């Protein structure tokens, strides 16, 4: 049985993961409207991953006899000034999610909840990847500056992202 403290904290995290999906869906739509179809595709896959993260947490709560409570998801931003700004926002958001996961781990350790620690360890590793992916794209976009040719090359590259 899961403790109420951990159950509440994971329910909050489920909301945060669904909010992440909302941000990336909004970015996907914005990139599509800017005719950057590859970046739109990349964000669409990212959003799907976030829903999977939410479902992974939800499945765990249910397996441990807890109750998943879905709360209202905040509306995301809808406009960014450039692809670079959008990916910078995505990178900062992933760093925020990492801090949340670390806080959850601290709580699971304090509560001596070993099963939750095992689940959270997966998310700790996943966040390393999530941050690295966004950071790499930010670096590439910074490298090309205002160049349209480089932007289209990166767009084509990101269009090749496959479902994990």
Closest approach, Cβ 17 to ligand FEO, in A, equals 5
Helices (H) and strands (E) in the chain — how many of each?
Answer: 5, 0
For residues 15 and 159, what is the distance between their CA atoms, to the nearest angstrom? 28
DSSP letter at 112?
T
Q: Is 119 in the site for ligand FEO (CB under 6 A)?
A: no
For residues 144 and 42, what is the distance between their CA atoms, to the nearest angstrom? 19
For residues 159 and 71, what is the distance between their CA atoms, to the nearest angstrom? 32
* Count of positions on this chain that bind ligand FEO (CB under 6 A): 7
Q: What are phi and psi of 49, to 5 degrees?
A: -60, -40
**Residue window 70-109: x/- pattern of binding to ligand FEO, with contact defined by CB under 6 A:** ------------------------x--x------------
Which one, 7 or 94, has the nearer CB to ligand FEO?
94
Closest approach, Cβ 134 to ligand FEO, in A, equals 8
Residues that bind ligand FEO (CB under 6 A): 17, 20, 50, 53, 94, 97, 130
């Amino acid at each position: 049985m899961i403790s109420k403290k951990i159950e509440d904290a994971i329910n909050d995290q489920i909301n945060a993961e669904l909010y992440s999906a909302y941000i990336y869906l909004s970015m996907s739509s914005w990139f599509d409207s800017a005719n950057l179809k590859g970046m739109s595709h990349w964000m669409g896959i990212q959003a799907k991953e976030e829903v999977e993260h939410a479902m992974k947490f939800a499945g765990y709560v249910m397996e441990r006899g807890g109750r998943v409570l879905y709360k209202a998801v905040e509306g995301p931003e809808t406009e960014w000034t450039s692809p670079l700004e959008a990916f910078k926002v995505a990178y900062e958001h992933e760093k925020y999610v990492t801090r949340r996961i670390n806080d959850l781990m601290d709580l699971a350790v304090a509560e001596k909840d070993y099963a939750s620690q095992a689940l959270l360890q997966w998310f700790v590793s996943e966040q390393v990847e999530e941050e690295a992916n966004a950071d790499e794209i930010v670096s590439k976009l910074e490298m090309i500056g205002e160049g349209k040719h480089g932007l289209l090359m990166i767009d084509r590259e990101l269009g090749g992202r496959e479902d994990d």
